[in-house]
Amino acid sequence: MSFINYSSREINCKIVYYGPGLGGKTTNLQYIYKKTNPESKGKLISLATETERTLFFDFLPLNLGDIRGFKTRFHLYTVPGQVFYDASRKLILKGVDGVVFVADSQVERMEANIESVENLRINLNEQGYNLDKIPYTIQYNKRDLPNIVPVDELNRALNQRGVPWYEGVAIEGIGVFDTLKNIAKQVLFELKKGY
Amino acid sequence: MPGYDLIMYDEESKQIDAELNRLHSQSNAKVVFLVDKNGQLITSVGETRDIDTTSLASLTAGNIAATGGMARLLGEREFSILFHEGEKDNIHISVIGHRVILVVIFDQRSSLGLVRLRVKKTAETLTKIFEDLAVKTQKEKAAPEGAPSPFAEISDEDIDKLFG
């Protein structure tokens, strides 16, 4: 649910990074924050535990520039990935315009990935959204680690809809901006469809 | 998609600003701002220069969402008013028309009682404005008047340009 302000000529959209715990959602936002010009970004807010696990959400406002005379702002949020924070995840999905799923490519995290996609589908449904229709991009993260699942297999297990996907090493920034750019594009095209 | 995009036009924007300015002066507040429940800042008035209103808007919405979750666990629809007391500054947060959040930041120059009283009046006015806005938005979507929407013309190129 974007916010279009004809008075101040602004478009505001909300993107949520979803995925299993320790998959790299916060790392994506931290990299974007690090690499963006100071004038284009706000503060990166992290509501995290003392051990730096996301407790409620991370938040990063980004100004992407003008489109047809409208300032384009994206609000990026992450959810807490740990299973028991489900109530918080539901809240953060409210009013979402696009979702990035950050999957952990490691073999031992496959089950957690599958569980998290299922959880995403259920939580979106509860808010009245459909995972098969909403702007959606997948990032297969941690491609630099030794024990990883081949991309074909990841796609079969996690991407039945066949949405755009990127291989990522979020900690080094690989795939981070490709993912962001793709979801932003999908969100703006969805916005265009509505008018 | 559930709900509707929030769309703000010049006319309503001016009405809202006027109402918030009135609340700001009548309640002796430092800052008054209005946030969409999804965390988007709609507008702010007062001493905002030293305040990160974007972050504050997002955290306010998170706060309301969290207390809303608590409310539902207790069988309440929502907790419509929150109040945070600090050493110098206090924050009064209220949900208006189940859709937007009104935030008043005030210090010892005002009081909770005064803020509550003034907020109540403003809430009525804002509820009406947002109801009218919802009707207008639907009408515009069904049969756009005036200039075509700028979004209808968005091209791949426009979007690529955003990322340089």
- Nearest-10 Cα torsion for A90, A92, A97, A98: -80
For the residues of A161-191, what is the DSSP string, one character each?
T---EEE-BGGGTBTHHHHHHHHHHHHHHHH
Contacts of the segment B91-95: beta carbons below 8 A, 24+ positions apart: B92/B116, B92/B119, B93/B60, B93/B63, B93/B64, B94/B119, B94/B123, B95/B37, B95/B64
Q: Is the Cβ pair B162, A64 closer than 8 Å?
A: yes
User: Are A106 and A145 in contact, with CB atoms under 8 Å apart?
Assistant: yes
For residue B4, is pLDDT > 70? no
In chain A, which among 71-100 make CB contacts under 8 A with chain B?
A: 72, 75, 87-88, 90-92, 94-95
Chain B, nearest residue to A11 by Cα: B7
In whole numbers, what is the pLDDT of chain A averaged over residues?
Answer: 94
How open is the CA angle A151-A155-A161, to the nearest 5 degrees? Answer: 155
For residue B154, is pLDDT > 80? no
Distance from CA of A55 to the nearest CA of B (A): 12
For residue A132, is pLDDT > 60? yes
Confidence grade of residue B16 (pLDDT, cut at 50, 70, 90): very high
Select the more confidently predicted residue: A63 or B160. A63
User: Which pLDDT does position B153 carry in this prediction?
Assistant: 75
A51 touches chain B (CB under 8 A): no
User: Are B30 and A28 in contact, with CB atoms under 8 Å apart?
Assistant: no
pLDDT, tens digit, for every residue of A20-36?
A: 999 999 999 999 999 99
Mark A78-111 as b/e (b = at least 16 C-beta within 10 Å). bbbbbeebeebbbbbbbbbbbbbbbbbbbeebbe
For residue B2, is pLDDT > 60? no
β-partners of residue B36 are B100
The distance of Cα A60 from the centroid of its chain, to the nearest Å, equals 11
What is the 8-class DSSP label of residue A41?
B
What is the 8-class DSSP label of residue A148?
B
Confidence grade of residue B38 (pLDDT, cut at 50, 70, 90): confident
Residue B161, φ and ψ in degrees, nearest 5: -60, -35
Lowest mean pLDDT among A117-121, B68-72, B90-94: B68-72
User: Which pLDDT does position B1 carry in this prediction?
Assistant: 44
Chain A, nearest residue to B3 by Cα: A1
- What structural domains does chain B harbor? 10-162 (3.30.450.30)
What is the 8-class DSSP label of residue B149?
P
Q: How far is CA B120 from CA A64, A130, B16, in A?
A: 37, 37, 15
User: Which pLDDT does position B152 carry in this prediction?
Assistant: 73
User: Which pLDDT does position B159 carry in this prediction?
Assistant: 78
pLDDT, tens digit, for every residue of A151-172?
A: 999 999 999 999 999 999 999 9
β-partners of residue A51 are none
Tokens (6 digits) for A166: 């990127």
Domain locations in chain A as residue ranges: 3-193
For residue B104, is pLDDT > 50? yes
What CATH architecture applies to the domain A3-193?
3-Layer(aba) Sandwich (3.40)
Residue B66, C-beta contacts closer than 8 angstroms, at least 6 positions apart: A56, A88, A91
For residue A142, is pLDDT > 50? yes
What is the 8-class DSSP label of residue B150?
G
For residue B83, is pLDDT > 90? yes
User: Which pLDDT does position B3 carry in this prediction?
Assistant: 54
Distance CA A116, CA A132 (A): 15
Tokens (6 digits) for B16: 């809202």
B55: chain A residues, CB-CB within 8 Å: 42-43, 45, 59, 61
Tokens (6 digits) for A53: 């696990």
Distance CA A85, CA A78 (A): 12
Hey, what amino acid is at A31? Y
Tokens (6 digits) for B105: 């930041």
Q: How far is CA B163 from CA A61, A66, A171, A182, in A?
A: 15, 11, 21, 10
User: Which pLDDT does position A122 carry in this prediction?
Assistant: 97
Percentage with pLDDT > 90 across chain B: 66
For residue A40, is pLDDT > 50? yes
Q: Is the Cβ pair A1, B5 closer than 8 Å?
A: yes
User: Are B10 and A6 in contact, with CB atoms under 8 Å apart?
Assistant: yes
For residue B147, is pLDDT > 60? no
Residue B100, φ and ψ in degrees, nearest 5: -120, 160
Strand pairing of B31-36 and B41-46? antiparallel
Mean pLDDT of B47-67: 91
